[in-house]
């Protein structure tokens, strides 16, 4: 029988050969094994493979066509009809019952807000979390990939280390030690599929569903909340002030605190040194841990960044999360955790259970990319490019948005937050989209009701030359409110 059909005619079963062939074909179509549009074998081929006469095969096809399961196209042959899902009478009962309380099946597991608008992307887009890739040295990375592939030899026959390729961990350890003063070695690092998988692994290790309370900045970074909620944490939103997360407002039940101290996502302020020390002291008293997301920390516009929380950590309480998605490009999907020694084996075990590791070929190429200085050179170049875009925004926003908008101060990152006075930000987002400009509302980052009115303007993927027209259109949209 044709292996693509795999029909079970159940020899010895009751019924004529025609009935059994008809039933087997209909079941294969109803179950989806024979997809809509699939061209079926000729009646002669079907008869030979099924061990029936050609007349029986022809009769089975004609019967299925009369019932609407097949489309007969003359000399073109017989094709599976494109039936509505309801017509195939498949049961959905297996997706309920014991899993009815699943956060993901209820579709409220992520806390990832749905976009306010949809459809084709507008011509001007202030997209957050997306860097410029036009200047990235892809030719260098391709050359390093080729070299890595040649060097692998027989290594593809082995599974990669769950912790990540040692050469990449060594390169990252050197990079964060020099750029962020995070003293660490390759043994302290676990390679992940971007920062998001790092959050997920940490959440798997630390959270007891329904019992663990995790404090999060409010407004804060939605993807981090996704991982925490998905693991079953109870979230405790914490307000911010000009120095960052308000430590005095932390819940006494919290045993995990999540912060973006380098460039608060989304408001932009850095956490002050005094506040960083206050948070670490609080964590020590409460026996809590801190997840430090070094969000946009590579792109700072001051001479020297404040020390990372991980740098100040003396008790092994900080999980430092970094990513190469913004310093290189998002499709790379490489991130890392600098983990406390006591949690490292558990993180590696969670990584092994999740995916073993990232593709070793790309890990090897990126290790060389960092070790040979290409990453540092690219970051330095893009820092100047982003600084120009940032200056254009700061100069032109007051001109086009007027007194109803105020740019919030920030010293790093790939976006600016704008506070709005007396303006419905969600409605402005909709009108701006209609005017050809994509922006995000601050409400997307808020947990709960009554959040601040404002916008988040990413400038990683919009050139300085396009910013004036984009802001002009945004200003016209604001004028209609």
Chain segment 236-289, per-residue pLDDT in tens = 999 999 999 999 999 889 999 999 999 899 999 999 999 999 999 999 999 999
Q: How many CA atoms lie within 13 A of 187 on its CB side?
A: 2
pLDDT of residue 102: 66
pLDDT of residue 103: 66
Share of the chain above pLDDT 70, in %: 89
pLDDT of residue 152: 78
Share of the chain above pLDDT 90, in %: 62
Task: Specify the pairing of strand 124-125 against strand 437-438.
Answer: parallel
For residues 406 and 222, what is the distance between their CA atoms, to the nearest angstrom? 23
Whether pTM exceeds 0.85 = no
pLDDT of residue 118: 76
pLDDT of residue 35: 86
Question: Based on the number of CB atoms within 10 Å of its own CB, is 68 exposed (0-12), middle (13-18) or buried (19 or more)?
Answer: exposed
Residues 202 and 324 in one domain: yes
Residues 310 and 408 in one domain: no
The DSSP H or E segment spanning 292 is: strand 289-293
pLDDT of residue 215: 97
- As for how many domains the chain has, the answer is 3
Confidence of residue 1 (pLDDT cuts 50, 70, 90): very low
pLDDT of residue 3: 46
For residues 272 and 244, what is the distance between their CA atoms, to the nearest angstrom? 7
Residues 60 and 149 in one domain: no
Question: Any idea how long the chain is?
Answer: 481
Residues 389 and 464 in one domain: yes
For residues 255 and 132, what is the distance between their CA atoms, to the nearest angstrom? 37
DSSP letters spanning 47-86: HHHHTS-HHHHHHHHHHHHHHTSEEE-GGG-EEE----GG
Give the count of beta carbons closer than 10 Å to the beta carbon of residue 100.
9
For residues 243 and 274, what is the distance between their CA atoms, to the nearest angstrom? 9
Average pLDDT rounded to a whole number, residues 465-479? 96
Task: Specify the pairing of strand 335-338 against strand 189-192.
Answer: antiparallel
Asked if residue 51 has pLDDT above 90, the reply is: no
Give the count of beta carbons closer than 10 Å to the beta carbon of residue 406.
15
What is the Cα Rg of the chain in Å?
A: 28
Q: Is 393 within 8 Å of 457 (Cβ atoms)?
A: yes
Q: Does residue 7 lie within any of the structural domains?
A: no
Cα-based angle 19, 20, 26 (whole degrees, multiple of 5): 90
Lowest mean pLDDT among 202-216, 288-302, 318-332, 372-386: 288-302
Cα-based angle 326, 328, 330 (whole degrees, multiple of 5): 60
**DSSP conformation class of 205:** H
Residues 341 and 441 in one domain: no
Domain with 318, as residue range(s), is 138-376
Chain segment 455-467, per-residue pLDDT in tens = 999 999 899 999 9
Residues 355 and 392 in one domain: no
Asked if residue 377 has pLDDT above 80, the reply is: yes
More confident residue, 431 or 30: 431
Give the count of beta carbons closer than 10 Å to the beta carbon of residue 77.
15
pLDDT of residue 13: 54
At residue 440, φ and ψ (nearest 5 deg) are -110, 145
For residues 221 and 155, what is the distance between their CA atoms, to the nearest angstrom? 39
For residues 167 and 283, what is the distance between their CA atoms, to the nearest angstrom? 33
Residues 290 and 426 in one domain: no
Q: Is 163 within 8 Å of 170 (Cβ atoms)?
A: no
pLDDT of residue 445: 93
Domain containing residue 401: CATH number: 3.90.1150.10
Residues 343 and 399 in one domain: no
At residue 211, φ and ψ (nearest 5 deg) are -125, -35
Q: Does residue 102 lie within any of the structural domains?
A: no
Helix (H, G, I), strand (E, B) or coil at 191: strand
pLDDT of residue 225: 93
Residues 32 and 156 in one domain: no
pLDDT of residue 232: 92
For residues 322 and 298, what is the distance between their CA atoms, to the nearest angstrom? 10
Residues 42 and 162 in one domain: no
Asked if residue 407 has pLDDT above 50, the reply is: yes
């Amino acid at each position: 029988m044709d292996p693509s059909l795999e029909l079970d005619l159940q020899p010895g079963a009751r019924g004529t050969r025609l009935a059994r062939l008809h039933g087997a074909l209909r079941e294969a179509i109803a179950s989806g094994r024979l997809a809509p549009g699939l061209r079926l074998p000729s009646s002669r081929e079907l008869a030979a493979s099924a061990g029936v006469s050609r007349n029986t095969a022809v009769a089975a096809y004609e019967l299925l066509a009369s019932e609407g399961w097949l489309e007969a196209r003359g000399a073109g042959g017989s094709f599976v009809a494109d039936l509505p899902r309801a017509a195939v009478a498949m049961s959905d009962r297996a997706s309920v019952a014991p899993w009815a309380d699943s956060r993901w099946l209820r579709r409220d597991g992520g806390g990832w807000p749905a976009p306010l608008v949809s459809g084709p992307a507008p011509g001007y887009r202030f997209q957050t979390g997306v860097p410029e890739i036009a200047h990235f040295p892809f030719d260098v990375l391709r050359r390093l990939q080729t070299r890595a592939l040649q060097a692998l030899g027989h290594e593809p026959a082995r599974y990669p280390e769950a912790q990540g390729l040692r050469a990449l961990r060594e390169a990252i350890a050197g990079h964060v030690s020099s750029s962020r003063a995070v003293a660490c070695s390759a043994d302290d690092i676990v390679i992940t599929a971007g920062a998001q998988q790092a959050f997920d692994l940490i959440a798997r290790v630390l959270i007891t569903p329904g019992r663990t309370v995790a404090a999060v900045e409010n407004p804060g970074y939605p993807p981090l909340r996704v991982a925490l909620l998905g693991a079953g944490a109870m979230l405790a939103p914490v307000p911010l002030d000009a120095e960052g997360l308000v430590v005095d407002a932390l819940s006494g039940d919290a045993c995990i605190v999540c912060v973006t101290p380098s460039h608060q996502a989304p408001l932009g302020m850095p956490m002050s040194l005094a506040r960083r020390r206050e948070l670490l002291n609080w964590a020590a008293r409460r026996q809590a841990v801190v997840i430090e997301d070094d969000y946009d920390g590579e792109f700072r516009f001051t001479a020297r960044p404040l020390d990372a929380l991980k740098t100040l950590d003396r008790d092994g309480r900080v999980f430092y999360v970094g990513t190469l998605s913004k310093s290189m490009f998002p499709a790379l999907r490489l991130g890392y955790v600098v983990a406390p020694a006591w949690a490292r084996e558990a993180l590696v075990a969670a990584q092994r259970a999740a995916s073993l590791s990232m593709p070793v070929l790309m890990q090897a190429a990126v290790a060389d990319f960092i070790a040979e200085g290409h990453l540092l050179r690219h970051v330095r170049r893009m820092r100047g490019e982003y600084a120009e875009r940032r200056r254009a925004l700061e100069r032109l926003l007051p001109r086009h948005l007027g007194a109803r908008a105020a740019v919030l101060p920030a010293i790093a990152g790939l976006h600016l937050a704008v506070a709005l006075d007396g303006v419905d930000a969600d409605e402005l987002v909709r009108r701006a989209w209609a005017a050809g400009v994509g922006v995000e509302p601050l409400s997307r980052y808020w947990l709960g009701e009554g959040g601040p009115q404002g916008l988040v303007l990413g400038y990683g993927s919009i050139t300085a030359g396009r910013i004036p027209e984009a802001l002009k259109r945004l200003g016209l949209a604001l004028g209609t409110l």
